[in-house]
Amino acid sequence: MIRDASHIEEFQAGSILVTGMTDPDWVPIMKMAAGIITDQGGRTSHAAIVSRELGVPAIVGTGTATEDLKDFDQITLSCAEGDKGYIYEGALEYEEEEINVDKLPETKTQVMLNIASPSAAFQWWRLPCKGIGLARMEFIINEIIKIHPMALTHFEEVEDLDEQMHISEMTLGYEKKTDYFVELLALGLAKIACTRYPDPVIVRMSDFKTNEYANLIGGKQFEPKEENPMLGFRGAVRYYHPKYREGFALECQAIKQARESIGLDNILVMIPFCRTTKEAEDVLKVMEEEGLKRGENGLEVYMMAEVPSNILLAEDFAKLFDGFSIGSNDLTQLTLGVDRDSGDLAPLFDERNPAVKKLIENLIEIAHQNGCKVGVCGQAPSDYPDFAEFLVHCGIDSISLNPDSVIHTIEKIAAIEKQRG
């Protein structure tokens, strides 16, 4: 039982972490946990996303776990009984199922993986997937690099002397401090991409919220304080804005190095949270200035379809990008007006709502009419087999899944495709 991140050193490896909620500061002990239980958070909260990435069972949004459980209680945490988690008293027996992946059926729909860290990519490389539909660079930046890119480009302006000294120590041996960011990010992305070569690996450019960027070393000085970071200075707007333009340039350099110097040219780029076509044009212009021109050296550029405007103006966006990847989490949040991190609103957050499904159906139809591919990399198809079925019936080109749901979803998709003939 740990209520505050300042006490994480008290955590005993191999036990179950029980806390109110988590943020990036908690990741080191989340890696050591046998399981995670939180009072707050929904299916797309930090604890839920990170635990999936780590392959650690987690139950979020219990409301009262920190009150009902006590240190050294012996319990069984079960995430194997549908879309709800259960906590039982005592250590219960369980069964393990072994599956031969070579005997899984082939699917017309391209099944891909959601991956955030190189270690996860190496852990799950045996899964029979056709690439990675969502490679998140945030985990590499947060867990390996740890320094805000603007604190590297403007090192002399870092006001906190302790942070300045820390940055100096971490970047020792690099010709330029920015090389530290570029080289570590390029290497991390290359490690992810090599596990699936030559299949495509779609790398989403950084999509931290301002409060998450602020947690990086030197970050607070370069990030505005926002009332609602989820709807604030995030995604595409950062990439061409003076407050982060130089940081985005480092991300582009890392992509270029991974693709051209290291040779992982199966890396494609994806732009998140792009609100308008003008934003899309501005981002593509900046990328071109940094040596990443769409169409050159086989570079494809996708966009996340997660803002309703992306679907309403899909025909216009299709002229600027090679494809769409539906981010069902944000699309649901913005369509239904439901905070995806709210435990209280969790019953209302449902990607299967008719309004969300209608938007997705429209996008697939319009994109295909304009020669664009459409995939999905949100949480929904991993959680709900019926949602995966809906996507296949709509003719989606690819479905990117969390590793733990790949096997059963492949079987489900194959059965649906067989029924459809």
pLDDT at residue 83 greater than cutoff 80: no
Give how far the C-alpha of residue 197 lies from the chain's centroid of Cα atoms, to the nearest Å.
20
> Is 48 within 8 Å of 37 (Cβ atoms)?
no
d(CA 409, CA 339): 27
Q: What is the pTM of this model?
A: 0.88
Q: What is the mean predicted confidence (pLDDT) over 184-205?
A: 98
Domains in the chain with CATH codes: 5-89 (3.50.30.10), 103-420 (3.20.20.60)
Q: Residue 46 has what pLDDT?
A: 84
Q: Residue 255 has what pLDDT?
A: 98
Q: Residue 52 has what pLDDT?
A: 80
d(CA 158, CA 248): 19
pLDDT tens digits along 92-108: 998 888 888 889 999 99
CB proximity list for 51: less than 8 A, separation 6 or greater = 30, 36, 57, 58
Catalytic residues: 46, 377
pLDDT tens digits along 272-305: 999 999 999 999 999 999 999 999 999 999 999 9
pLDDT at residue 79 greater than cutoff 80: yes
Largest CA distance in the chain: 66
Local confidence band at 136 (pLDDT 50, 70, 90 cut-offs) = very high
